[in-house]
Structure 1
Amino acid sequence: MEVKKQNKFALFAIIGLFAIVVLLLTDILIGMSNIGFKDIIDSIFNYNKSKEHLIITTIRLPRVLLCILVGASMAISGLIMQNLTRNPLASPQVLGINSGATLAVVIIMVFLPQLGYKIKILCAFLGAGLIGMFVYVIGSVKNLSPLKITLVGISIQLFLSSITKSIMLFNESKTSDLVFWMIGGVHHAQFIHILAILPWFIVSILLITVISNSMDTLKMGDSIAISLGENVKLTKIISTITVILLSSSSVAIAGPISFVGLITPHIVSKFGVRNFRGNFILCGIYGGNLLLLSDIVSKLLKYPYESPVGIVTAFIGAVFYIFLANKEMKRGGVSEK
């Protein structure tokens, strides 16, 4: 049985990695400038600073790499939250964590625009951390059901969104840039953005790898995990910190791209891999795939012009969320009590 599970993981990991290569190359090929597959190969092995090579190395390659990093970050953070809360509707976006990071970044962009990406990321950490802590405390003190915690998160998200939009309303000169950023996009990607998000991604992966076995035990419930010798409180703290690191760094760079963290864990759950470590690796792979595919669709919507990738993920995610919520309510997976 164990060998069969390992074979499933290896199979879907290989399929996912192959899909990433295909989608990455496809994404690089699509754009206003005519780029061929030969240009991509030459830019790697025979770089000559031609127009095509510059477009590939300075615009399109950073864009697809940022897609992979942000998609993986949001998917893994969604998986952690769904396991942590045992709530299939949970994600950083639904529980208001992304909104906290968004508000913090908008404040910086409007009032302190001269500050760099490192400060934006730190402020996003602060905003997301405060909201994550608030939702966690409310849920723990009131002993709320998964559905009620979700409703609290959505209420906080709407409240913070109204504050964010009010700031934008009274700063119209900067509204156009903010609106495009708030929809969520990777069109502006540069290697400096990759370098800004990569350290936090690596730290997060190391943290979640350390507690992956504990996350498996936590699925059985807090009381059973404690009886088996697990430090439940420490596991939850590290998990929450990991979610904040992944989602906040992604929001600071690419904006609040919606629903990748909700959709991907449900796709991966169909693969039949039961251990948390295997699932979070697959979520990283398929989260990157989902955002790459969404980026390709966003390019084709108004070709040769582009739309923000957040429009595509929001549309797919809204339909998926309604379907999922209805399914969970019918089978009693999300209790109203």
Structure 2
Amino acid sequence: MTTPLAIPQSARPAYLQQGWCWLLLALAGALGIALSMHTLSAVLPPLRWWTVLQQTAPAAVNELIFTQVALPRIVISWIVGASLGLAGVLFQQILRNPLADPATIGVSSGAYLALVVATLFAPALLEWGAASVALAGGVLAAAVVLMVSRRSRFSTITVILAGLIVSLFCGAAGASLTLLNHEYLNGLFIWQTGSLVQNGWQNVHYLWPRILVLATGAALMARPLGMLVLDDARVSALGVHVARVRLGALLLGVALCALSVSTVGVVGFIGLMAPNLVRLLGARTFTQRMALAPLLGALLLWLTDQIVQTITYFPNPIPAGSGSALVGAPVMLWLLFRQKSGLQARVVAYERMARRPRLSGRQVQLICAFLLVATVLAGLGSGRGPYGWEWFPTTTLGTVIDWRLPRVAAAGIAGGMLAVAGMLLQRITGNPMASPEVLGISSGASLGIITMLFVSVDLGTDGMLLAAFAGALLTLLLVLALNWRSGFSPERLLLAGVAISTILTAIAACLLTSGDPRTATLLTWMSGSTYRATLAGAAPAGVALVLVFGLALLGARWLRILPLGEEAARALGLHVTMARGCFLMLIAAATAGATILVGPLSFIGLLAPHFVTALGLQRPRQQITAVALIGAGLMVCADWVGRNILYPWQVPAGLVAVLLGAPTFLYFLWRKQ
């Protein structure tokens, strides 16, 4: 079975073989011990440690903190890190994709959404324990992914896409409730960033026996899981029931992640980083990776937590989940780009995902254009006001021009640019799960605005646009610099983009947890709100959309050739590096423009291209036209719903796009099986 992205076993760095792996792990362990002794010494002098440990009931406050806070925090970091590392190995093995991690299955977002809903609407459920509620939410989210993927026998692409959509949906629903009830859910926002702060040994006693049982189950499945490096047909010929093995491993990974997340919060990047690092450190077989990844995951989270405890610059402590990304992502980038051998990707023929069309390409484009016009007219002429619903006859011209036209224009232009960027990215990488935010441009723009907020007293619209542009441009230059020598190969581009985006998002999360009252406004903008949109800002963006659209049409021939692979593309006379570089610039410009206009949206670039393939369009020119129309229409519709569904309160258009589009996309995905 072909996969969107896979790293062969032979692609490992020679300079990290012959014991270097164990040496690096030993050095990491020694550093963890040194930092732990430093943090523990700040609580209690080392000469008193043994005496306090022998006491049954510590008397002094610092002794109580030492035994019931500091020591459990270290142990819980080991358990959670090992659990996430093992879960990441399982997911990457069964999905044959190095970009897979526990978040792919939607467990973290599902757990967070369950806690938000229980806190607001059913607080009695919390009497059973927050861990039980979060675990139920994570399992339910994973169950949706498995249900959608069942008819395809849990194929790689289906599971990844379904998990990503469920994760986005749960995250958007949780963010919407957080924005509408910000004063009640600050604690959950901190929990979402991952906190290892402990108050006793209850979490340790709860986690370790359950994690041990799940790890034993994973070890018993090591042999059939190791065979999944082959395609499904060969594995079945060897007597392995592929669907059952994949389902069992998925359930084990979900349980590992859900238990950890429900206890300490969302700790990201460990499950993605640990398996990739052990592979780069020389682990060839699945058994070696399964043994080393939990060890490395425990070390990474332990080191991260000790490092963030020594940083006292911020008024509030840095969450461990954000710190894990700040510590781990640069290390992963260093190892990735020191690797001498190129990573080879097996691409998916993009046209194979399209259904057999019932209408011609021109007819589909006309229908998309008609729907866009109808959506724009509805957005301009209808809506709720102080005196109820207003329709075309009763809507004043001033209301349309001053209030609705800027938002409709901003939403449509941003949606069109994101959709075109997503379609281009999916075609040049041959990866149906690729989307514009993979490049990290949106995260860079967000970080620019957040940074300017904390260094400027008053950040107006012009300053916001300038900060977003600077952040997006710097991120673009970093992506280009890291991928220049590799010729912008798809697999390096995606891995680097994920790492950079994670770093920037983690920095933004650290700043947002500072307690500044303006963070509510930032959260609204980051969710894709158009409330700051103006005609003056939308006009240049409209020109940019026309340029992006025209240049994409000019490169239609390249788009038809690139998914065939590098060798075939070169045989047809295409300069692959130049073509990828041009499209990369175009994708980055479109994503940055949309982010500057309405915020870092994260779904239209994935949803719109799949709608196009579901409609049966295969030619690049037809896809570019249709995807721009569909993306613009989806965003205008999302903005209209967000403005009216909870009037006078408003839900950001980006969140509405996820809430409306995710179920529709899951239906299409289920129906295609």
How do 1:117-266 residues align onto structure 2 when only pairs under 5 Å count?
119-120=466-467, 122-130=469-477, 132-133=479-480, 136=483, 140=486, 153-170=497-514, 172-266=516-610
Deviation per CA, 1:235-294, whole angstroms, max 9, x where unpaired?
Answer: 111100111111001111201112100011000012222211210111100001111221
Q: Distance between the aligned counterparts of 2:666 and 2:614, measured in 1?
A: 19
Aligned residue number for residue 455 of structure 2: 111
Aligned residue number for residue 613 of structure 2: 269
Judged with a 3 Å threshold, the aligned counterparts in structure 2 of structure 1 residues 128 and 96 are, in CA distance, closer, same or farther, namely same
Letter in 2 for 1:18: F
Judged with a 3 Å threshold, the aligned counterparts in structure 2 of structure 1 residues 117 and 206 are, in CA distance, closer, same or farther, namely farther
Unaligned 5+ segments in structure 1 are: 41-51, 332-337
Q: Distance between the aligned counterparts of 2:488 and 2:582, measured in 1?
A: 22
Q: Do 1:260 and 1:287's aligned partners in 2 also have CA atoms closer than 8 Å?
A: yes
Aligned residue number for residue 22 of structure 1: 374
Query: Considering only aligned residues, what root-mean-square deviation do their CA atoms show, in Å?
Result: 3.3
Aligned-pair CA distance for 1:70: 0.5
Specify which of 58, 63, 79 is matched with residue 407 of structure 2: 63
Q: Determine whether 1:9 maps to 2:350.
A: no
Q: Do 2:549 and 2:624's aligned partners in 1 also have CA atoms closer than 8 Å?
A: no
Q: Do 1:168 and 1:175's aligned partners in 2 also have CA atoms closer than 8 Å?
A: yes
Deviation per CA, 1:174-225, whole angstroms, max 9, x where unpaired?
Answer: 3232121111111222101112322322332232222121111112112111
Specify which of 608, 615, 622 is matched with residue 278 of structure 1: 622
Aligned residue number for residue 314 of structure 1: 658
Q: Do 2:603 and 2:654's aligned partners in 1 also have CA atoms closer than 8 Å?
A: no
Judged with a 3 Å threshold, the aligned counterparts in structure 2 of structure 1 residues 165 and 121 are, in CA distance, closer, same or farther, namely closer
Helix, strand or coil for the counterpart of 2:435?
Answer: coil
Judged with a 3 Å threshold, the aligned counterparts in structure 2 of structure 1 residues 80 and 132 are, in CA distance, closer, same or farther, namely farther
Q: Distance between the aligned counterparts of 1:244 and 1:321, measured in 2?
A: 25
Q: Distance between the aligned counterparts of 1:206 and 1:142, measured in 2?
A: 23
Q: Distance between the aligned counterparts of 1:181 and 1:121, measured in 2?
A: 12
Helix, strand or coil for the counterpart of 1:31?
Answer: strand
Aligned residue number for residue 36 of structure 1: 391
Judged with a 3 Å threshold, the aligned counterparts in structure 2 of structure 1 residues 308 and 229 are, in CA distance, closer, same or farther, namely same
Aligned-pair CA distance for 1:104: 2.4
Q: Distance between the aligned counterparts of 1:234 and 1:248, measured in 2?
A: 21
Aligned-pair CA distance for 1:314: 3.3
Q: Do 1:168 and 1:174's aligned partners in 2 also have CA atoms closer than 8 Å?
A: no
Q: Do 1:184 and 1:309's aligned partners in 2 also have CA atoms closer than 8 Å?
A: yes
Q: Distance between the aligned counterparts of 1:117 and 1:198, measured in 2?
A: 19
Aligned-pair CA distance for 1:230: 1.3
Q: Do 1:132 and 1:240's aligned partners in 2 also have CA atoms closer than 8 Å?
A: no
Q: Distance between the aligned counterparts of 1:212 and 1:72, measured in 2?
A: 17
Helix, strand or coil for the counterpart of 1:305?
Answer: coil
Judged with a 3 Å threshold, the aligned counterparts in structure 2 of structure 1 residues 238 and 280 are, in CA distance, closer, same or farther, namely same
Q: Distance between the aligned counterparts of 1:64 and 1:142, measured in 2?
A: 35
Aligned-pair CA distance for 1:131: 5.3
Q: Do 2:556 and 2:620's aligned partners in 1 also have CA atoms closer than 8 Å?
A: yes
Q: Distance between the aligned counterparts of 2:514 and 2:581, measured in 1?
A: 37
Aligned residue number for residue 46 of structure 1: none
Q: Distance between the aligned counterparts of 1:141 and 1:53, measured in 2?
A: 52
Q: Which stretch has the larger CA shift, 124-133 or 272-281?
A: 124-133
TM-score under structure 2 normalisation? 0.42
Q: Distance between the aligned counterparts of 1:273 and 1:142, measured in 2?
A: 27
Q: Do 2:642 and 2:651's aligned partners in 1 also have CA atoms closer than 8 Å?
A: yes
Q: Distance between the aligned counterparts of 1:296 and 1:315, measured in 2?
A: 13
Aligned-pair CA distance for 1:101: 2.5
Number of matched residues?
A: 312
Judged with a 3 Å threshold, the aligned counterparts in structure 2 of structure 1 residues 26 and 83 are, in CA distance, closer, same or farther, namely same
Letter in 2 for 1:285: L
Q: Distance between the aligned counterparts of 1:244 and 1:65, measured in 2?
A: 21
Aligned residue number for residue 291 of structure 2: none
Q: Which stretch has the larger CA shift, 87-96 or 317-326?
A: 317-326
Aligned-pair CA distance for 1:298: 1.5
Q: Distance between the aligned counterparts of 1:13 and 1:98, measured in 2?
A: 29
Q: Which stretch has the larger CA shift, 113-122 or 64-73?
A: 113-122
Q: Determine whether 1:289 maps to 2:633.
A: yes
More relative contact order, 1 or 2 (CA 8 Å, 6+ apart): 1
Q: Do 2:545 and 2:590's aligned partners in 1 also have CA atoms closer than 8 Å?
A: yes
Judged with a 3 Å threshold, the aligned counterparts in structure 2 of structure 1 residues 312 and 136 are, in CA distance, closer, same or farther, namely farther
Q: Which stretch has the larger CA shift, 83-92 or 214-223?
A: 214-223
Q: Determine whether 1:72 maps to 2:72.
A: no
Judged with a 3 Å threshold, the aligned counterparts in structure 2 of structure 1 residues 199 and 122 are, in CA distance, closer, same or farther, namely farther
Q: Distance between the aligned counterparts of 2:547 and 2:488, measured in 1?
A: 32
Q: Distance between the aligned counterparts of 2:482 and 2:653, measured in 1?
A: 28
Q: Do 1:76 and 1:284's aligned partners in 2 also have CA atoms closer than 8 Å?
A: yes
Judged with a 3 Å threshold, the aligned counterparts in structure 2 of structure 1 residues 141 and 73 are, in CA distance, closer, same or farther, namely closer
Q: Distance between the aligned counterparts of 2:627 and 2:471, measured in 1?
A: 23
Aligned-pair CA distance for 1:173: 4.3
Aligned-pair CA distance for 1:172: 0.8
Q: Distance between the aligned counterparts of 2:515 and 2:549, measured in 1?
A: 38
Q: Do 1:110 and 1:174's aligned partners in 2 also have CA atoms closer than 8 Å?
A: no
Larger radius of gyration: 2
Unaligned 5+ segments in structure 2 are: 1-355
Q: Distance between the aligned counterparts of 1:14 and 1:110, measured in 2?
A: 47
Q: Do 2:548 and 2:590's aligned partners in 1 also have CA atoms closer than 8 Å?
A: yes
Helix, strand or coil for the counterpart of 2:368?
Answer: helix
Q: Do 1:82 and 1:88's aligned partners in 2 also have CA atoms closer than 8 Å?
A: yes
Q: Do 2:528 and 2:652's aligned partners in 1 also have CA atoms closer than 8 Å?
A: yes
Letter in 2 for 1:76: V
Aligned residue number for residue 68 of structure 2: none
Q: Distance between the aligned counterparts of 1:238 and 1:136, measured in 2?
A: 13
Helix, strand or coil for the counterpart of 1:172?
Answer: coil
Q: Distance between the aligned counterparts of 1:214 and 1:142, measured in 2?
A: 15
Q: Distance between the aligned counterparts of 1:326 and 1:161, measured in 2?
A: 31
Q: Do 1:214 and 1:230's aligned partners in 2 also have CA atoms closer than 8 Å?
A: yes
Aligned residue number for residue 47 of structure 1: none
